[in-house]
Amino acid sequence: MKAIEAGCLNIHYHDIGPETGEPVILLHGFPYDARAYDEVADCLADQGFRCIVPYLRGYGPTRFLSPDRMRSGQQAAIGADLLAFMDALGIERALLGGYDWGGRAACIVAALWPERVRGLVSCGQGYNIQDIANAWQPVAAAEEERYWYIYYFQTRRGQEALIRDRKDLCRHIWSIWSPSWQFDAETWAATAPSFDNPDFVEIVLHSYRHRLGDVPGDPAYDEIEARLAEQPKITVPTVVLLGGDDGVDPPSAEDPSKAMFTGAYTRHILQGVGHNLPQEAPEAFAAAVEALADAT
């Protein structure tokens, strides 16, 4: 475990593989942590890559530098964190891989600062930048049902659930978002302590409230949010990986994200895999990173 001051955070991260290897930054989502990439990072390190796996704001040992900084979970914040992290480490250009919140951070940096990104592996929705201005518009009832947790987190009751027993809630989400993943007690125990971060509840609540446009963001990120509101296209080479058994973002036969990528682009659906794709299918995720490195 290493740590570095980056932007408004002291970010803790795992650094696996040779220091001189090509950098690959791997980003976890909610409700997971950096341990989701243990096998991916080992596989890539064996191939000579340097794998850097941070704990996002609100997770694990990552902490804010100031008690006065807003505990924002908005998309611009996690994108800015990733850029600041690269700057702090002196990484000019890297391969990025992520899912859920981490996939969003990777997509944001790829869209707004493409010169910093050699290639992108994005899981789940593919194009993972939120269209907050239109978030109020309802979708099909079956899709709304899958988003129960978003509505739950708008309420005092959902907030209290996170405060009182966040681990029960997060473990339940693991099981329904990845119904075919038979994770064991040891796997869960390796990640669960990350949710004890003192900022976890506040950041999670802000993330899911901000994305519906119901709470203001941190003014420090207004400029980035304005750029994201334009729904910028992603120009860097991209591989999109989707879990066929994803319980929250099940893939469709048609690709709704393809038009948002203008560079080299491929999309793969992995059967028998759920939402936590790098931990459920580490070899496939590592292969996607290797394919981008070989192609670019």
Task: Give the model's pLDDT for residue 267.
Answer: 98
Contacts within 8 Å (CB) and 24+ apart, 219-227: 220/70, 221/72, 221/74, 221/76, 221/77, 221/80, 224/76, 224/79, 224/80, 224/108, 224/112, 225/74, 225/75, 225/76, 225/132, 227/112
d(CA 74, CA 90): 25
> Which CA distances in Å does 242 have to 111, 183, 200, 284?
20, 19, 27, 11
Task: Give the model's pLDDT for residue 48.
Answer: 98
Task: Give the model's pLDDT for residue 296.
Answer: 78
d(CA 195, CA 159): 14
8 A C-beta contact, residue 141 and residue 117 = no
| Domain segments of the chain as ranges | 2-295
Pick the CATH number of 2-295 from 3.40.50.1820, 3.40.50.460, 3.30.1300.10, 3.40.50.720: 3.40.50.1820
pLDDT digit string (tens) for the chain, length 296 residues: 999 999 999 999 999 999 999 999 999 999 999 999 999 999 999 999 999 999 999 999 999 999 999 999 999 999 999 999 999 999 999 999 999 999 999 999 999 999 999 999 999 889 999 999 999 999 999 999 999 999 999 999 999 999 999 999 999 999 999 999 999 999 999 999 999 999 999 999 999 999 999 999 999 999 999 999 999 999 999 999 999 999 999 999 999 999 999 999 999 999 999 999 999 999 999 999 999 999 97
pLDDT in tens, 92-151: 999 999 999 999 999 999 999 999 999 999 998 899 999 999 999 999 999 999 999 999
